[in-house]
Each structure stands twice: as C-alpha cells, then as structure tokens.
Amino acid sequence: MTAPGHHSDTARDTLNPLRRLVLPIYLPSALMAVAQMALLMVLPLYMLELGAGLAVTALVFAMRSLGSVVVNVPASLAIARYGHRASMAVANGMMGLSALLIAMASSNWVIAVAVLVFGAGMGSWLLARLAYVTEQIPNHQRGTALAMLAGLQRLGMFAGPLLGGLGVETAGYRAIFAVISLTALATATLAWLFASTASSPPSGRHQTEPLSAISEQTRPNSRPTYGLATLVPSILRRYRALFVTAGVFVFALQLVREQRRLLVVLWGTNIGLDAEAIGLVVSVASAVDMAMFPLAGYAMDHWGRKVAGVSCIGLLSIALGLLPLTATTLPYLLVAVMAGVGNGFGSGVIMTMGADLAPADERSQFLGVWRLVGDLGALVGPLLTSIVGSLVVALGLSAFVGLTGGLVLLTCVGETLSKKVHASHGET
C-alpha cells in the first residue's frame, strides 16, 4: 500500500532538482542559446558581405567547432580541478570577449581567430554545465532535465536567427556581435553567483551507480590520474567498445547538425533570399524544433534513448538530402521544418546518453572525450563543405554520413535508460 503523501513527495522530489538548475544553468543556457544561434546565422552572411567565397566562409564557420575540439580535454581536466562554477563563468567570459573582437575586426583571419575562441568558450560551457547537471540530477530524471536544457537551446534556435536577421536589417552586423558579447558576460555572472559548489546530488537516495554498459573490467578500483597527453588515449582505450559504436552515432549526429546550421542558411542565399527572409525560415523551423523537446524528454525517459536518437538523425539526414531539390521559398521552408522536427525529437539525446554512460569516478574526463568525438563531427562537416566547394555535394555526403550513424545506433548500441531505476520509482 502506498503511504499517504507518497505521490506528492515523489512529485516534489522530481521538481526540486530541476528548480536548483534555473539560475545557474537554465537561464544562462537560454540567453546563450539565443546569442549563439544569432551568431551562427549571421556569421556566414557577414563573411559573404565582406567578400569571402564559399570555401573561406565555411572554413571560418568551422573554427567554432575547432575551438571546441581543442578545448575539450583541457576543459575536462580544469573542471575536475577547479569545479563547475569557475569553469562555467570563465567559459562564458571567453565567449563575451571573442564576440566583441568579431564586432571590431574586419579581417577574415582575425574573425576566424575570434570564432575559434568563441568555440572554445562554448565547448567549455557545454561540458561544464553537462557535468554539473549529471552530478545534480539522478538517472531517472536526467532525460527530462537534459531535454529541458536542450529545449532552451531550441528556444535560441528560434529566437536567435529571427533576432539576428532583423538586427542585421536595422542595426547592422557589428551591433549584433556587440549584443552577443554583453549577453555572454551576463551569463558568466549568473553562473558564478548561483552555481552550487557541491559535487554530488544533495539527496543521497538519488545517487545512482553507473549503468552496466560500463563493465567492471574496464573500471579499476582506483581513480586514474590523467594529463593533457594521456587523457584521450586512456579514455578511448578503457571505453573503446562504447566509442566505436555510440561514438560513431555522436560523430555523425553532430556533423549533420552543424551542416544543417550552415547549409540551410547558405542554400537560402543560393535561391535568392535575403538575411531577413532566411532568418524567418530558420526561426519557423526552429519553433517546430523547440516544440518537440517535451516529447523528446518523455521518449527518452519512457521509450529509451535509442528511439529518440534514431528518429532524430534519420529525419535530419533525409531533410539535408532533399534540400537541393528546393528552388523556391515554400519547399525550402518545408524541408527546413522537417529538419526541425527531426532535430527536436533528439533534444538532449547526446547529453543524456553521455550522462548515462559516464562513470562516477571520472565523469568530467569521460564527458570531455564524449564531447570531443561529437565536436570532431561538427568540425568535419563545414570542412567538408569547404573542401568540396559545392553545396549539393556537401548536402549529399552529409545525408549519407547521418544515415550511417543512425544505422550504427540502431544495430550496435545498447539502450542506456536504466529500467531498474524506473521500477523502483513505480514506473514500468
């Protein structure tokens, strides 16, 4: 028999951990999502305005992902040493200063360096906040917590391009980058003031053991010590089975997602649309994307992470493959919306799978390599576009990689949702 007040206590337990994330994580994430997506929409158009061709534009765009790739390992070590609070504040400060540099620069290569620093700051921020949420939220609530976080990212995907496109038409490119800079400095302040310094969930009963996907044979009793040169090869060797399966999916999904951000914008210019029209199309697609995150959270916590992941990468890949068939605004919009549906269904799936798989004794280090694999995919996508020099070819290759990654997830990766935890909380 269920004791009186049990259900209300359970509801309160579910809600309270999420409330603790509002000021240090959710609000800064919402603000930076808007700022980042405004930058990603405006940056390719700004490069074309400065006279850069497709190859240079794609290369500068790739610098954001390169910055994230470079910073993942040192950031994971810094988080383990200095804590989440300081790491999140410094990361947002880096983004603020780099956006200010973009606003003041006129050289393509100065902008490329600034975008590199922005990417390093963004990578550090995403890693630090993921490690923070993983420690604060138990397994059976992570799908919901991280889908909400991803939903806020999608809020940025809706509002950022819209505000960026309107801002370009009314105030110019440099004003947009200056506003992005101020936003990042504000989020640094929020993270510093409100993030907890605790390194584990406040309630001991929420603490969960790492999933069986990480075998006891690969986890020694003592916590290893890593350096810059040893962390990546050591983590890859210890968890090689995970990274040659789930890692392929993460790589492919991030490649497809980054190509969507770049190529949808560039295809809009290819069919003759201006910045305001492209921003509107991207924002409509992002609104659909954003509306999907509650379903994504429910799906991950009830149907499993694989359902969300396969649906996400499959629809995204098909949409990229269809984009070259569009020549007018309406088909362009419909394909963009299709991509939004797919991406939205995977809200938080990479973060959730990483949080599920990360061992408690080296969580930030594992997540650093986990993010590194995804960021490599995000880097390869724009570089591929720069190398092939053709939007149509780049779209076709991206669709192929995405479908391959989805097949690997479907056939080679085990489910990471803990059914045992669900059962202990009265769920089937």
Q: Does domain 20-196+232-424 correspond to CATH entry 1.20.1250.20? A: yes
* Closest listed residue to residue 369, CA positions, set 222, 226, 208: 226
Instruction: Map residue 328 onto helix, strand or coil.
Output: coil
The pLDDT of residue 279 is 86
Is residue 67's pLDDT more than 80? yes
- The answer, as to whether pTM is greater than 0.85, is no
Look at the alpha carbons of 39, 40, 45, 46 in this order and tell me if their dihedral is positive or negative: positive
Instruction: From residue 351, give the alpha-carbon distance in Å to each of 41, 140, 257, 354.
Output: 23, 14, 14, 5
410 half-sphere exposure, CB direction, 13 A CA radius: 11
> Which range among 108-117, 203-212, 273-282 shows the weakest confidence by mean pLDDT?
203-212
| Distance in angstroms between the alpha carbons of the first and the last residue of the chain | 17
Q: Transcribe 190-227 into DSSP letters.
A: HHHHH----SS-SSGGG--PPPTTS-GGGS-SSPP---
| Domain coordinates in residue numbering, the chain | 20-196+232-424
> How far apart (Å, rounded) are the C-alpha atoms in residues 385 and 406?
21
CA distance 91 to 36: 13
**Token representation of residue 14:** 């579910």
Q: How confident is the model at residue 332 (pLDDT cuts 50, 70, 90)?
A: very high
pLDDT band at 223 (very low <50, low <70, confident <90, very high): low
Using DSSP, state whether 91 is helix, strand or coil. Answer: helix
Give the span between the Cα atoms of 245 and 239, in whole angstroms: 11
The whole-angstrom separation of Cα 370 and Cα 232 is: 10
Helix residue ranges per DSSP H, 240-292: 240-243, 246-270, 275-291
Return d(Cα 191, Cα 84) in angstroms, integer: 9
pLDDT for res 281: 92
Mind listing the pLDDT tens digit for each residue in 159-173?
888 888 888 888 889
Instruction: List C-alpha distances in Å: 189 to 84, 103, 215, 218, 306.
Output: 14, 21, 40, 39, 36
Q: Is the pLDDT of residue 366 over 60?
A: yes
What average pLDDT does range 183-189 have in this prediction? Answer: 93
Q: Pull the structure tokens for residue 256.
A: 């497809």
Q: How confident is the model at residue 401 (pLDDT cuts 50, 70, 90)?
A: very high
Task: Determine the Cα–Cα distance for residues 402 and 248; give it in Å rounded to an integer.
Answer: 10
